[in-house]
Amino acid sequence: MTTHSDQPFQSDIEAVAICRTPYKQKFGIPRQPGLVNVKGWVELTPKFNQLDAVRGIEQYSHLWLLFCFHENLAQGWKNTVRPPRLGGNEKLGVFATRSTFRPNGIGQSVVKLHSVVRRNGKICLEISGMDLLDGTPIIDIKPYIPFSDAIDNATGGIAQSAPELIEVQYSSLAETQVLAHSKALDISHLQQVITDVLAQDPRPAYKKAKVDLKIYQVALFDIDVFWRVNDKTIEVIEIKPTSVC
């Protein structure tokens, strides 16, 4: 006999907002929220573009964003994944990780809320600390409640502590370029954002144990940052405006 709980679950889920961030590609996005202090926006979609929908939200310092891994959906999912924390060599169950390749493609992140503003006719939440690709669909927004959401003495398994950071240096050319782009983009802390992103070493785990001569590129804001690993130090070689195809 089939019980009610055995019936297939069906629900139409739609985006309530779109997240605008400096991260223009998946490569380089922090692997967890709160690791890079950079601001972004949550733009309410037309159906929800009303102040009433966010009335009272400014009384909270942080928010939970439930979102869709929209660029991964076509690749499907597997029962087991290889977490970067384990060097990409050991498998864990998908539900024991925060892998982006999930059965329903849903993720969650906690972000800091700064203000509610209007931008280009849209009601937006000004946030920081997000780990989301620019254009990520937000399927729900919930307040972070400290007394229940922050659990004392919780254990984090393979992710008990924050990732180790690597030193980031700049070539003389990159030093000059980052100052110029900082003024052009009106982002006073641009160099700090670049440093914070690269210090987490965005490379795939299997690359970190080998001699790596490759030059990498990370797209942030409207610039491309070119860098390489030089004797366990990341060196920013050059910073260019994003190419328009």
CB-based contact 181:188 (threshold 8 Å): no
Please tell me the predicted confidence (pLDDT) of residue 1.
44
Residues of the chain with CATH 3.30.2310.20: 168-241
Mean pLDDT, residues 60-65: 98
Please report where in the chains the tokens 């795939």 appear, as a residue.
Answer: 204
Band of the pLDDT at 129, cuts 50, 70, 90? Answer: very high
Tell how strand 168-170 and strand 233-241 pair up. parallel
Q: How far is CA 178 from the centre of its chain?
A: 22
Inform me whether the pLDDT recorded for 205 exceeds 80: no
Mean pLDDT, residues 153-176: 90
What are 91-101's pLDDT values in tens digits?
999 999 888 88
Band of the pLDDT at 166, cuts 50, 70, 90? Answer: very high
Band of the pLDDT at 74, cuts 50, 70, 90? Answer: confident
Q: What is the CATH number of domain 11-149?
A: 2.40.30.70
Inform me whether the pLDDT recorded for 240 exceeds 60: yes
Percent of the chain at pLDDT above 90?
69
Inform me whether the pLDDT recorded for 62 exceeds 70: yes
Mean pLDDT, residues 145-151: 94
Inform me whether the pLDDT recorded for 196 exceeds 70: yes
Q: Find all residues with CB under 8 Å of 1, minimum gap 6, and list them.
A: none
CB-based contact 122:43 (threshold 8 Å): yes
Inform me whether the pLDDT recorded for 6 exceeds 80: no
CB-based contact 219:1 (threshold 8 Å): no
- How far is the C-alpha of 4 from the C-alpha of 67, rounded, in Å? 28
Q: Two tokens at 118? A: 């209007």
* Beta bridge mates, 228: 235
- How confident is the prediction for the chain on average, in pLDDT? 91
Q: Which residue has the higher pLDDT, 230 or 72?
A: 230
Domain 168-241 in CATH 3.40.50.740? The answer is no
- How far is the C-alpha of 119 from the C-alpha of 17, rounded, in Å? 13
Radius of gyration of the chain (CA): 20
Q: Which residue has the higher pLDDT, 88 or 40?
A: 40
Residues of the chain with CATH 2.40.30.70: 11-149
Q: Find all residues with CB under 8 Å of 175, minimum gap 6, and list them.
A: none
Please tell me the number of Cα atoms within 13 Å of 222 on its side-chain side: 10
